[in-house]
Homo-oligomer: A and B are copies of this chain.
Amino acid sequence: MASGLSFLLAARQCEIGELEDLAKTSELLGVLGRFTHELQRERGASNGYLGSQGGRFAARRLEQAAQCERAELLVRESFDRLDSDASRVRNGARLFSRIAVVLHAMDSLPALRARIAAQQLTPAEATKAFVQLIAGLLAVVFEAADSATDPEVSRALVAMFNFMQGKEFAGQERAFGSLVFASGGTDAGGQQHWRHLIDLQQGCLQVFLEFSSPAAVLANLSSQDPDVMADLERLRRIGCTPGRQDPELSQAWFDCSTARIDAMRVVEAQLAANLRVLCSQRIEQARGELRDQQAILDSLARQASPAEPAHYGPHLERSVVALVQEQTLRLQAMSDELDTVRATLNERKVIERAKGLLMAHRQLSEEEAYKMLRQTAMNQNKRVLDVAEAVLAMADVLPVRGR
């Protein structure tokens, strides 16, 4: 019959199993990051191609689509590796559903490219299709972060997810700014949208800074060329000023924001590599601890009375109690830390859910819903999270329009 000590070892083995799952997921995130980056570039090139009625970006778009297909292949191979022994993957139900959504969108990419080539879509329509696919890929990253059980890895995943999401908002800003300059200006609504995209990036980067290692923070800082950033801020200021814009600035804007996004991609790749190293280290560490524990238990078993193997002397008894207590306290501390990291993910979930509710009940766009939450928070001197929670609590009494 299994003893308490054998369960102590089994608990350790579970920890190792969870870390090995995380290592697998980290591999996946690396290729997802690369694919997302190629899609962001293809979105930019497609926009340029459609915006110029096929006059520009034709070759660049085709070349970028080929790059994208190579990255896509790696993603599909990574997905396939997850699929083996599917029913035992932790958080598999949600992770696999997200993957199903993404694969379905990936299957439609050839058709999307054909319609872009034939100029059957507006830039806004093409952008929307790319944005949706990328949002699906980021949802996969989010699920991976949400299923991590090791606080250190979870922290790195939360940092990475927010960095990737921030980079995507930077990509959306690039596309929007290009259109604003190319079309000669925008109205108050467009200016507000632009500011919204900047705010979203800052929110993501704030969470990234909070959760990433000092080394990652430094890498991000040193990746940003001050000249590029100064240029970016100058062009943002010009683009957000009412009045007619010089279409020539479109290219300058595109190059400058691309330089920044490419620098972010370098940091992102480094985050993914760090994550893989972290997982390997944690696995090595847990395996070492398991070996040590096993050795202690073996020596305890040898010293135990052979007549009554379940009973140790008072000295051994204390060792066993200490081992059990140490592990319990350690897991408790890990669990407390994990709860703290997860709180950030939960905040995101609550805000997303409140946004979804407002969109459905008030027939708002996603951006309008967020703006309503933020405005209410500012008016009431509360956090957006508090307002989102209040909205969800009121869900049952909110009027539904149009039903």
Give A contacts to B, CB under 8 Å: 1-8, 10-18, 76-77, 79-80, 83, 86-90, 92-104, 106-107, 111, 149, 310-311, 320-321, 324, 327-328, 331, 335-336, 339, 346, 349, 353
Q: Which one of B5, B83, B320, B328 contacts A6 once the chains associate, using CB atoms below 8 Å? A: B83
Q: Is the CB of A2 within 8 A of B102?
A: no
Q: Which one of B17, B335, B336 contacts A92 once the chains associate, using CB atoms below 8 Å? A: B17
CA distance A371 to B339 in the complex (A): 25
Q: Is the CB of A7 within 8 A of B96?
A: yes
Q: Please, which residues of chain B bring their CB within 8 A of the CB of A80?
A: 1-2
Q: Which one of B1, B88, B100, B331 contacts A94 once the chains associate, using CB atoms below 8 Å? A: B331
Q: Please, which residues of chain B bring their CB within 8 A of the CB of A13?
A: 86-87, 92
CA distance A149 to B90 in the complex (A): 11
Q: Is the CB of A324 within 8 A of B100?
A: yes
Q: Please, which residues of chain B bring their CB within 8 A of the CB of A76?
A: 1-2
Q: Which one of B6, B88, B97 contacts A8 once the chains associate, using CB atoms below 8 Å? A: B97
Q: Please, which residues of chain B bring their CB within 8 A of the CB of A17?
A: 87-88, 92
What would be 29 A-B contacts, judged by CB atoms less than 8 Å apart? A1-B76, A2-B76, A2-B79, A2-B103, A4-B99, A4-B101, A4-B102, A4-B104, A4-B106, A4-B107, A5-B100, A7-B79, A7-B83, A10-B87, A11-B97, A14-B86, A14-B87, A15-B93, A17-B88, A17-B92, A18-B93, A93-B149, A94-B331, A97-B327, A97-B328, A97-B331, A100-B324, A100-B328, A339-B349
With A14-B92, A17-B88, A107-B310 already in contact, the answer to whether A101 and B324 are too (CB < 8 A) is: yes
A234–chain B nearest beta-carbon distance, Å: 41
Q: Is the CB of A99 within 8 A of B353?
A: no
Nearest residue in B to A102 (C-beta to C-beta)? B4
For the complex of A and B, 8 pairs with smallest distance between CB atoms: A14-B92, A4-B103, A11-B96, A17-B87, A10-B86, A4-B104, A7-B100, A14-B93
Q: Please, which residues of chain B bring their CB within 8 A of the CB of A8?
A: 96-97, 100
Q: Please, which residues of chain B bring their CB within 8 A of the CB of A328?
A: 97-98, 100-101
Q: Please, which residues of chain B bring their CB within 8 A of the CB of A18?
A: 93
Q: Is the CB of A104 within 8 A of B346?
A: no
Q: Is the CB of B3 within 8 A of A96?
A: no
A4–chain B nearest beta-carbon distance, Å: 3
A69–chain B nearest beta-carbon distance, Å: 13
CA distance A266 to B360 in the complex (A): 46
Q: Is the CB of B320 within 8 A of A94?
A: no
CA distance A324 to B327 in the complex (A): 42
A87–chain B nearest beta-carbon distance, Å: 4
Q: Please, which residues of chain B bring their CB within 8 A of the CB of A327?
A: 97, 100
Contacts beyond the supplied A14-B87, A97-B324, A100-B328: 18 A-B pairs with Cβ under 8 Å:
A1-B80, A2-B103, A4-B102, A7-B96, A8-B97, A8-B100, A10-B92, A11-B93, A11-B94, A14-B86, A14-B89, A14-B96, A16-B87, A17-B92, A93-B331, A97-B331, A107-B310, A107-B311
Nearest residue in B to A92 (C-beta to C-beta)? B14
A361–chain B nearest beta-carbon distance, Å: 16
Give the most central of A2, A13, A310: most B CB within 10 Å.
Answer: A2
Q: Please, which residues of chain B bring their CB within 8 A of the CB of A4?
A: 99-104, 106-107
Q: Is the CB of A10 within 8 A of B96?
A: yes
Q: Please, which residues of chain B bring their CB within 8 A of the CB of A7?
A: 79, 83, 96-97, 99-100, 103
Give the most central of A7, A8, A102: most B CB within 10 Å.
Answer: A7
Q: Please, which residues of chain B bring their CB within 8 A of the CB of A102?
A: 4
Nearest residue in B to A107 (C-beta to C-beta)? B310
Q: Is the CB of A336 within 8 A of B353?
A: yes
CA distance A104 to B325 in the complex (A): 11
A337–chain B nearest beta-carbon distance, Å: 11
